[in-house]
Structure 1
Amino acid sequence: MNSPSPEGLSILFADDEKELQEIARMELPFYGHRVTVCPDGYTAVAALEKDRFDCLIVDLDMPGMNGIQVIERAATLSPATEAIVLTGKRSLETAIAALRFGVIDYLSKPCRFSELNELLSRVAQRRRLKQRTAELQRLERSQSSRHTQIVGESKSMQGIAKLVSRVAPTNSTVLIRGETGCGKELVARSVHEKSLRCDKPFIAINCGALPEHLIESELFGHVKGAFTGADVQRQGLFEAANGGTVFLDEIGELPLAMQAKLLRVLESGDLRRVGDNQITHVDTRVVCATHRDLESMVESGSFREDLLFRINAFEIHVPPLRQRVQDVMDLARYLYLRHHPEHASIESIFSTEAIELLLQHPWPGNVRELANVIEHATILCEYPPIMPEHLPKHLVERRLRRDIKAATSEPVVVPLREAPKSLKELEVLAVQEAVQRHHGNKAAAAEELGISIKTLYNKLNSVEANNKKAA
């Protein structure tokens, strides 16, 4: 006699014979399984539309919708559900039809439920192996892939990392808010990578980058002939990401007409391709991002309130880089190592002077601007440390103007071609400008700069010494 299964399965049992229905209700729970019994194919499909099952056990010869038709619908509605066929006509034709739709096995009627449970035990074993494989793949990705890492030791970024860890394993819709370039897509990718969907596609789309007449086709697909140029049927992003995650960046740019259609997909999982009368069901998680004030847009009538409620199930706010200066160097190192992972063992990738320039820059372009700055530096710097001369000129010029402005009541404009290459040169230039303004009166210049006359002479003497060496 078979003992109860240590790992029960969720089973959908569909058969038109009342006697088998009653036996299934009694026997399958005895083996530790959870069972939903349906008297026909239509009821079974309705159950598949509402719930997910580990295994489908279906009679092949039911009136109305037969077992193969149920299995065909199950392949679309719940691809992970494995199927077992019960039939009184065990033949080659039956086996071929079953295998065509991925049926794992079939039993001839009358069958013993102990035999059926042996098949279910193998189903459970396969599921455990798949889950273990998925876990190992997730572990491998987490160890080898750094492109989704949330970088930063600031309190705000550590808080975001915790929020991502909490929401990622769920199916909740996530809304990520923050300025342009602050790293919203990185957070979205992290949500996907830490979710149970991480082995499925992550597809991102910028809602503001597509022409209005193409958005519906991009999101939901189209059939052949739906519009001029639709020469072939095409999947939309939601279908392409089925089982995974769709990232809708700049959701606030979505036209009102598309907002209504998106809301329907979010609520039911059902979509209709452009030009198609058939409904397609998808299981896709949605993560959205915006830099816009969606509440104000709701008040002005340019964003649907019901859609805002739907996408804002869980909110994450990413602060601008200027509000988390302590993260700048962690990010800079991380971005540099993306270009040169072979330098990971080098402790000092940036010189002290370069660090000062990076920390004092206000970063109006946020992380995106920092990424461009580091890419510029990696092109010019063959090997660490990165020096000020490897950084874009606008960083050096901004620091130069700030220092000179602090030393004089009149701002001094220095052309880019004359921008100094080090902080020491910045100091010397400020001293020389002050002496020039006071017509050679070094005491007055030192007083204006707030330094001693001795320090001023030291600065000037160092210039003379360097000039003599150069000569």
Structure 2
Amino acid sequence: MLYVDDEPAYCRLFRRALSDDTRFLVTTAESGEEALRLLHETTADIVITDLLMPRMDGMELLRRIRKSSPETFVLILTGVDSTSEAVKAIKAGAYDYILKPLDMTMLRRQLDKILQHKQLLRESSLVPDKKFRFENLVGRDAAMYEIFEKIGHLAQTDTTVLIHGESGTGKELIAEAIHARGVRRDKPFIRVNCAALTETLINSALFGHEKGAFTGATARKSGFFEAASGGTIFLDEIGDIPIQTQVALLRVLELGNFQRVGGTDTIQVDTRIICATNRDLSSAIKDKSFREDLYYRINVVSLTAPPLRARKSDIPLLANFFLDKYRRETGKNVTGISKAALALLCDHDWPGNVRELANTLEHAVVFCQGRQILPAHLPESIRIADQGQFSLTLHDSSLAGAEAALIRRVLESKDWHLSHAAQALGIARGTLYSKMEKLGIRKPH
């Protein structure tokens, strides 16, 4: 653990306070620059840094740690008058903040939470089936930590769960993790996309049908509930099922049985039910498209998968996770993402959430011909959208203004080294020089 504070007395106090805790090997630094030097020489699982320091403040130190070591947990120390800045730090990727003067009880509580989080991630490797491994739910944001913690509790029960969240936020992965860590892990996990089933076929798909139940039913057929016997059925987009099917599903939840379409035999079912929706079901209840009694049956415990724009500190981790995934799948020797490309990824709003990010990294790996993902390898929609954001920041809606903002940003990130900036932008050095001349971009003195 590294503690960073420009006041030597606080550094001494911190070392003494944790001297009896064998879980931590504490190192201290009295400036951001010294902290970076220490982090270059060794690694730290946790960094605790004061926010207000001369030369390099805690916010700048946080940004540099996030770029060089995204897996490191960073806690921000701040006075009462600086809590708004601490909130900004959390949005920039800090795990949390602690008020000064140090309350060691509160600090130990935060450190315990971080250690529990790290333990959850380590335990993920114990799950036997890789497609259900916990690390597929990548995240170190506080909202994701809460999800991980709840998964651990829910896996030990048979409680019905409702997962809320926008499309692409990983609702199915959460359901899979609950199943994979529970007592039903060796039984089937059956996913049903309710939105993809027509009103005429959904009952047959879920509950099966008897021979002659309808035109084309030439033989008895089991449904998804029977296929999931002893395991878990995941009803994705539960808000899209018709009222008639809602009645049959309510019976399963209340009585634990159902009848096949066209049949009279009652079939007992032993299946855990996990549901997910991207709709506001309370509004659906008001407009009579969703039954209130069913809602209360499926909403015994609810989780909300956060959108990616609300946990942007996880983007570097996720981007590298998907880079490694698609690098192995394609056999390409792509080893990293340039700072300029990563900046574009971090600035994007991701309306398609994690699924959109995964598709973006797959696209980038496919088109990358070198060892590093550059802005030129990202989909045009990402590059254009974010260049537009830069131009609005400069109060200039022109394409030239957007291009100038992007080039200036990359140059600054490369300390105005033209060859490195050109490589990051995916253009020749001469082309970059010509664009700088045309757009009037000069290195500040």
Q: TM-score, normalised by structure 2?
A: 0.61
The 1:220/1:296 distance shift into structure 2, 3 A limit, reads same
> What is the CA distance between 1:412 and its match in structure 2?
2.9
> Which of 230, 247, 253 is residue 217 of structure 2 equivalent to?
230
Residue 173 of structure 1: how far off its partner (Å): 0.4
Q: 1:209-358 counterparts in 2 under 5 A?
A: 209-341=196-328, 349-358=336-345
> Which residue pairs with 1:57 in the alignment?
none
Q: 1:360 aligns with which of 347, 364, 367?
A: 347
Select 1:200's aligned residue among 180, 187, 190. Answer: 187
One of 191, 195, 201 as aligned partner of 2:178: 191
Give 1:342 shift.
8.5
Deviates most, 394-403 or 261-270: 394-403
Equivalent pairs counted in the alignment come to 299
Counterpart for residue 62 of structure 1:
none
CA offsets, 1:379-425, max 9 Å, x none?
11256321112211111112222223333544337999xx98x9457
Q: Is the counterpart of residue 388 in structure 1 residue 393 in structure 2?
A: no
Which amino acid in structure 2 is aligned with residue 243 of structure 1?
G
Correspondence for 2:168: 181
Residue 340 of structure 1 deviates from its aligned partner by: 3.1
What residue in structure 1 maps to residue 415 of structure 2? none
Closer/same/farther in 2, CA of residues 409 and 146 from structure 1, 3 Å limit: same
Counterpart amino acid of residue 172 in structure 1: T
Contact 2:225 / 2:269 at 8 angstroms: preserved in 1? yes
User: Is the CA contact 1:148–1:189 (under 8 Å) kept in the aligned structure 2?
Assistant: no
Deviations 1:414-470 (A, max 9, x none): 999xx98x94578979866765xxxxxxxxxxxxxxxxxxxx4449xxxxxxxxxxx
Percent of residue pairs bearing the same amino acid type: 42
Task: Name the aligned partner's letter for residue 353 of structure 2.
Answer: N
Deviations 1:320-358 (A, max 9, x none): 1000001112112222222234899x9962111111111
Most deviating of 407-416 and 164-173: 407-416
Q: TM-score, normalised by structure 1?
A: 0.58
Counterpart position of 1:114: none
Which of 96, 116, 141 aligns to 1:154? It is: 141
Over residues 27-57 of structure 1, what are the superposed CA-to-partner deviations in whole Å (9 max), with x where a residue is unaligned? xxxxxxxxxxxxxxxxxxxxxxxxxxxxxxx
Q: CA deviation at 1:282?
A: 1.2
**1:139 Cα shift?**
4.0
Select the structure of larger CA radius of gyration. 1
Q: Tell me, yes or no, if the aligned pair for 1:148 and 1:193 is still in contact at 8 Å.
A: no
Q: What SS does the aligned partner of 2:136 have?
A: coil
The 1-side partners of 2:327 and 2:351 are apart by: 26
Tell me how far apart the structure 1 counterparts of residues 133 and 374 of structure 2 sit (CA, whole Å).
25
1:244–1:285 contact (8 Å) kept in structure 2: yes
- CA contact 1:337–1:343 (8 Å) conserved in 2: no
Paired residues for 1:127-146 under 5 Å = 139=126, 141=128, 146=133
Secondary structure of 1:246's counterpart equals strand
CA separation in 2, counterparts of 1:365 and 1:342?
22
Report SS of the residue matched to 2:137: coil
- Kept in 1: contact 2:164–2:277 (CA 8 A): yes
Amino acid at match of 2:318: L
Task: Give the direction of change, closer, same or farther, for the CA distance of 1:172–1:140 in structure 2 (3 Å limit).
Answer: closer
Structure 2 matches for 1:62-81, cutoff 5 A?
A: none
Matched, 1:372 2:364: no
In structure 1, the residue matched to 2:159 is 172
RMSD, matched Cα: 3.2
Cα deviation 1:183-220 (Å, max 9, x = unaligned): 11111111111111111111111111111000000000
Deviations 1:123-173 (A, max 9, x none): xxxxxxxxxxxxxxx945167854773210000001000001101121100
2:254 aligns to what SS in structure 1?
A: helix
Q: 1:268 to 1:433 in 2, by over 3 A?
A: farther
Per-residue CA deviations over 1:244-299 (Å, capped at 9, x if unaligned) read: 11110111111111101100011122110011110111101110000111111112
> Which moved further from structure 2: 145-154 or 263-272?
145-154
2:41 maps to none
Post-superposition, which runs of at least 4 consecutive aligned residues in structure 1 deviate over 4 A?
Answer: 142-145, 341-344, 413-416, 424-435
SS at 2:336 equivalent: coil
Distance (Å, rounded) in 2 between the aligned partners of 1:371 and 1:361: 13
Residues 148 and 190, structure 1, Cα contact 8 Å, conserved in 2: no
- Do 1:183 and 1:367's aligned partners in 2 also have CA atoms closer than 8 Å? yes
Whether the aligned pair in 2 keeps the contact of 1:404 and 1:430 (CA below 8 Å) is no
Task: Please give the secondary structure, in 2, of the residue aligned with 1:230.
Answer: coil
| 2:190–2:233 Cα contact (<8 Å) kept | yes
SS in 2 for 1:229: coil
Where 1:296 maps in the other structure, the secondary structure is helix
Contact 1:405/1:412, CA 8 A, preserved across alignment: no
Whole-Å separation in 2 of the counterparts to 1:428 and 1:247: 55
- C-alpha distance in structure 1 between counterparts of 2:275 and 2:371, whole Å: 38
How far apart, in 2, do the equivalents of 1:370 and 1:207 lie?
24
Give the alignment of 1:381-420 within 5 angstroms.
381=368, 384-412=371-399
Identify unmatched segments of 5+ residues in structure 2.
Answer: 1-124, 412-421, 426-431
Counterpart contact for 1:407–1:430, Cα < 8 Å = no
Conserved? CA contact 1:201–1:240, under 8 Å: yes
Point out where structure 1 has 5 or more consecutive residues left out of the alignment.
1-137, 436-455, 460-471
User: Would you say the 8 A contact 2:210–2:221 is kept in 1?
Assistant: yes
